[in-house]
Structure formats: structure tokens, C-alpha cells
Structure 1
Amino acid sequence: MKELLKILIDNKDWLFSGVGISVVVLFYTIIKETRQSKNKNEISVDNKPTEVDYEKMTQKEEENSPIRNVVRRFVMVYEVHGIAQTQIPFFIDKEFGLQLKDFKDEGSILHILNDDLIVWTCDKFGIQREWIEGTTNSIYPHVDYYKKVHAFIKDICTLDKSAIDVIAFKSEKLKLKENHRHCIVLLIRIPIDTLNSKIIYKYVPISTLWDWGYWRSRYQVKSIFYICEKLRINICGYDLRDKELLASGSCFPQKLMSKIPITVTWYPEDYIDLPSQSCQAKETEETPKIREYIKEQGYMDLLKDCEKKQKISSW
């Protein structure tokens, strides 16, 4: 380094020339990069993972484990139904003997979470066990009523019809055009319990996409509207862009419905009422055909038979 400095002093005229300055800058850059590289190597050697680091890594792996995800999904089921984590032990059947301390964190929940508790939760909310266990993305089981209106009648007659709601979703104006594909999605909402005077609901998404542009599909969903009206079941309509996602059973209905900015936007019963019954009746030229279709399919006969054998139960 001293020899280099002596050479520079002896050649100071050349040093301050344009070429000299460039050479000095080049040497300075090389020396700087060499020192930085050396420092990095020293840091990588000196900063070997400590025992604390290994503990943090292990803890992070445990938090992201499939077992922990089961706990999170279990808690999520309750939270999306309006039940906070601190309220879960007071909502679950007393036969499980759960206490508030059992839900202080994920570790304590993991300690009490067993097969019976998961099964009870799934039955209570109509959730697929496989979703909680992380083996499927479908939260709800597949329930299809296309060409199965008879099955819908039988299922609906097992419920307390004065308490349930049937909700119909669309996303644009309905048109009687065979080449216009627009689907209706149905959702059944059932009260299952109360918590601090708040009603807790169970949801049954119907997988069927009722194509309004196809006469058979439209006749079937209109028949369901008519049956609900005859049973005095509350049926209401909303506009929802993501209605197909709801039908897929891969999301919680509450989350989608919370995004609806306004209340009821249309009334399904308008599409099965006669002009003499309502001044809001729509598509009235088709209504007599719907009534005849209902009679031909034997829906009303089945409905009367089901009412005779009716037993109130959960879905």
C-alpha cells in the first residue's frame, strides 16, 4: 500500500490528468467491493442459526401445520355464524363439559378438539367434515333439486315452515328468452338456536343453477316459488353477482350476503301470482301453464301427503 502511495506521489501530474482520475476511481471501486464481499462472508460465518432461531423456525412450522389449520377452520365455522371464540363453549352442547379456559388459544382448543366435537359441529351447521379436516374446498355438501322438485317438497316438509326462509338470488333482469341464459340460485336459511337473544342460523345452499331461459328449468323453479307460497314459507329475492359461488358450496353464505348493499330487490312470488291476486304479477301469460305443470307433475298431491305425515326436525 505504501509503494502504491509513493508511485502516486511521484506521478502526481499524471494522477490529476483525466486518465489518472479514471484509474484511481477504478481502483477505489475494486477495493470497496472486495471489502464488502469479505464483510458479507464474515457475517454469514458469524451469524449461524442459534438455538433460539431453531425454536422460532420450529414454532413457525407448527403454526402452519395441517393440524393447526383444523383448529382454525373449526373456530371459523362458529365465527362466520356470529359466534365469537369466547362464546363457543357456551354454545356447544353442555354434554361436552367445555369451559372458557379451553378456548384461550389454539393450543388449548387443540387439546379438547376430538372426533365427537367435530361431528357435532358439522351436524349443527351442515358443514362437511372433510372441509374442516382440510381435504376438500367444498364447505357444504352437494344438494341438487333439478328434476327433483319432489325431493325438495319432502325435505322442506320436515322443517318448521313458519321459521325458515327460502332466498332466491339473481344478478340481472329476468327475461323470457330461450337464448338468454340467466340462472337463479336458491338458499335455505334455518334457525337452529339462540345466543344472547341473537338467532343463529344454519344455511343450506342449493347446488342447482336454475336457467331462466330454459322453459323446463324455469317451470321447476317457479313451481318451488308456488309451493313455498302455499306453505306460507317466507321467500325473498336478492341480486348477487357471485351467486354461482354460493351454489358451489365453497363459501359461507353470510360472507357473500354481507356484501349486498341493499335489502330485498325482487319478489319471487310475483312470477307465480295471477293478475287477480297481485298488481305486481309478472310474466302472467305463462302463469296458467305453470299451474297446469304443477298439477301434472303431482307436486300438490305430494305436498298434501307430506303435510299429513309432517314431522318437525332439523335438516
Structure 2
Amino acid sequence: MKKVKLSLFDILARLGSSAPTKVDLPPIDPTEGRVTQSVRFPPKVRQWINAHAEHLGVSVQDFISLTMKGVMETTSSPQTDELDTMVMRFFLLFESHGIATADIPNFLPPNSITRSELRDTNKIIDLMDGPVFEHLQKLFGIERDWLKGSSDCAYRSRQFYKNLPAILSEITRYKLKTGNSVNVLFLTRSGVELAELAKIKNEDCETNDYEYIHIVLKFEKRVGSQTIATYQLWDSLPWGYWRSRYHAKALIYFCDKTQNYTAAYSLSQEKLNDFICGRALFPGIERHGNRWLLDELAWDDDRNPERDELTAIKRYFKEQGGEPYLNAIRHPYPPKIKNYDAFLAGAEPLRIDESD
């Protein structure tokens, strides 16, 4: 999507939107005339105001008054702000996933909108009803309230701590459905990579539990002739606490045994916060971080710097119910998977025939 040049009104409205949304104004006396207010502008600002006032054919005073009145009315209307935000996020969602504006109708329910109607903001506002919100939420994995403009969190964090099958189910189901691998991303703050995590493991958790590793799943989806990446935000696990670390390592172990991909990225604290709080969309996250490898934590040889924990990780993986998901991928057909269709549909948890 092309970048839109902001108008004077857009710029001032955005500036005004950061001010208090509710300002108590005193009653206005209809007999009161205009109040003269002296304002000093820097020379460049004054020249800019003069140029715009001349272009509109009004006085400088009228230009300033008209502009500020418009800003006041717009920023005091949260309904207008939410609708504007909804339209902006509608286009941002597609742009961030690499989808050209002309192709947007291909990613919506049939006959939802035409290309020419994408020029009309009101058409887009009217388009965004329940079924379309649900469709986009399911397709891109984003939150409906974010799309509506009523929330700043684009993703809902999912939990698998003390419930390892929750995340293994998502990975297994996708792999059985598509035959493709899932990319499991592990995010840390800048300066925290494998060597630093190894040091944290051997120190007191109470002083190091702020060093978290954040987990994101990346899937590829085929829509018509195009492939897009969608994401799920999962737990943030403190590496210094053994149970959290075992959970993360059990996931790495599973990926290694099932040919799913793992990659780790260290990001600036600011960028990391934006992503894990849902304020930034995940497409392109790899460009914002420094990549490092952690799959060796599942290897049973000297390349694994924490090989001393591997036996415990394997035992923990089994105790936490991970074995059925290994078996499902190794033997991905009935009768080994007792409820194949229901599991793929997400209607039932995985049930495996354990007999040989």
C-alpha cells in the first residue's frame, strides 16, 4: 500500500489526540465576541501559516481559529477516532503481511468489497461487521478489538506453562494438515543469547528471573496463489527457574525430533516490549533482531553446552505428556491416531493408540 501524505489536519489531529480526551469547557456566553489572543510564532512557522492562509483565501487569524476548532472537535470524539483507527489498521494488517492493496479483496469473504471501493473510507467502515472481523481474526491470528480500534494489543498471549500439550497440539495439527514445518521463534533482549542463558541457569533464580525467553509460533498459510505468514504469541518464561527452562527445552527437544524449525532472536528492549505486548505486528520481526541458534540444546553430544540437563529434559517431556505428539507425527495416520479427523478439526484433544 502506498504511503499516504498526511494533511495539515491529520498532523494536528494526531498531536491533539495525545492530550486529555475530556476537557471541561465553561458555559459560553452567546453575546460574547471573539477574544483576541496574542501568539508568537517562530519565523518559519509564521511563514508556513501565512502560506496556508493565503492558499485558502482567509486571514491568518481565521486560519488558526479554523484549524484549532477542527482539531478540538475531532479529538473530543472518540467514536471518530476509533473508526479512523479501524480503517488505518485494516490497511496496515494487509500491508504488514506483504499483501498489495489491489489483492485485498482476495483475502476477504467473497463479494465483500471491490478494488474501487477500497478508495472509499465509508465503504470500509461498513464492510467491517461481525463475519469480516471473525474472518480476519482467524486468517491472521490478530485480536478483533485491535482491528476495531478499541485495543492496542494485536495478539492474545497463549499459555502452555504447566500444559505442554497446548502448544504441541498446535504444532502437530498444523504439520499433519499441511505437511509443512512450524517455525518456533524464541525472543530475548539484546545481549542475552546462549552463553548468557547458560550463566543464568547456574545462578540464583531470584536475582535472574527477569531474564525471560518469549515464544512465538510462525505458520505459513496459502490463500489462493499467495502465501502469508501468521503468528501466535505464547508464554514468556523466566530462564532462571528450572521448571520454566525445562518447559522451553522440552519444546526445543520436540521440534528437533519432528523436523520443526527453531530460531532465536535478541532484540532491543523497546522492540521486544512492542512485540510481546502486541503493540507491533509480527511480520518482519526477524529483521529487527540478531539471530542466534539454540537447537543444539536438544543434541546429545558435546556441541550441547547444557548436555548435563538433557536426560532430565527427556524425562520431563515424557512426564508432561509430550510422547503422544511425537508418535502422531511419526505415524500420522489412523489407526495410530484414534480421533484423526476430530483432532485436526480442533474438536478433540489427541488420542493415540499406544499399542505396538
Give the TM-score normalised by the residue count of structure 1.
0.71
Residue in 2 that maps onto 1:189: 218
Q: 2:299 matched to 1:273?
A: yes
Q: CA deviation at 1:47?
A: 8.0
User: Which ranges in structure 1 are unaligned for 5 or more consecutive residues?
Assistant: 1-37, 41-45
Three-state SS of the structure 2 residue aligned to 1:203 is: strand
281 and 200 in structure 1: CA distance in 2 versus 1, 3 angstrom threshold: same
Instruction: Indicate the residue corresponding to 1:166 in structure 2.
Output: 184
* Residue 147 in structure 1 maps to residue 162 in structure 2: yes
Match of 2:7 in 1: none
Q: Report if the CA contact (8 A) 2:214-2:276 is conserved.
A: yes
Q: Which residue of 2 aligns with 1:26?
A: none
The 5 A counterparts of 1:111-260 are 111-160=126-175, 162-171=180-189, 172=192, 173-175=196-198, 176-179=201-204, 180-181=208-209, 182-194=211-223, 199-206=227-234, 208-242=235-269, 243-254=272-283, 256-260=285-289
Deviation at 1:300, TM superposition (A): 1.0
Query: Counterpart of 1:15?
Result: none
User: What's the CA shift for 1:301?
Assistant: 3.6
Aligned positions, number: 262
Q: Could you tell me how far 1:289 is from its partner in structure 2? A: 1.6
Structure 2 CA distance for partners of 1:194 and 1:115, relative to 1, 3 Å: closer
Q: Write the letter of the residue equivalent to 1:299.
A: G
Q: 2:101 aligned with 1:73, yes or no?
A: no
Alignment partner of 1:83 out of 74, 99, 102:
99
Q: Which runs of 5+ in 2 are unaligned?
A: 1-35, 39-58, 347-356
Partner of 2:313: 290
Deviation at 1:146, TM superposition (A): 1.0
Distance 1:117 1:298 in 2: 37
**Contact 1:183-1:210 within 8 A present in 2 as well:** yes
Cα displacement string for residues 199-247 of structure 1 (whole angstroms, at most 9, x for unaligned residues):
21111111x1122111111111100111112221111222223435433
Native 8 Å contact 2:154 2:281 kept in 1: yes
Secondary structure at 2:221's aligned position in 1? strand
1:98 corresponding residue in structure 2:
113
The letter for the 1-side match of 2:214 is V
1 CA distance for matches of 2:277 and 2:71? 37
Instruction: Give the letter aligned to residue 91 of structure 1.
Output: F
Instruction: Identify if the C-alpha distance between structure 1 residues 204 and 290 changes in structure 2 by more than 3 Å, giving closer, same or farther.
Output: same
Superimposed CA distance per residue, residues 254-293 of structure 1 (whole angstroms, 9 cap, x where no aligned partner):
2543323x5x321x22112111xxx522211111221222
Say which SS state the counterpart of residue 285 (structure 1) adopts. Answer: helix
Q: Distance in 2 between matches of 1:112 and 1:169?
A: 36
The verdict on how the C-alpha distance between 1:313 and 1:125 changes in structure 2, with shifts beyond 3 A counting, is farther
Which digits, 9 at most, give the CA deviation of each residue in 1:56-98, with x for residues without a partner? Answer: 93998399532222111222111111113332123324x2342
Say if 1:65 and 1:245 are closer, same or farther in 2 by CA, change over 3 A.
closer
SS in 1 for 2:262: strand
1:310 Cα shift?
4.6
Change (3 A) 1:286 1:234: same
Identical-residue share of aligned pairs (%): 22
Letter in 1 for 2:300: L
SS in 2 for 1:88: helix
Amino acid at match of 1:257: E
Pairwise CA RMSD of aligned residues? 3.4
TM-score (norm 2): 0.64
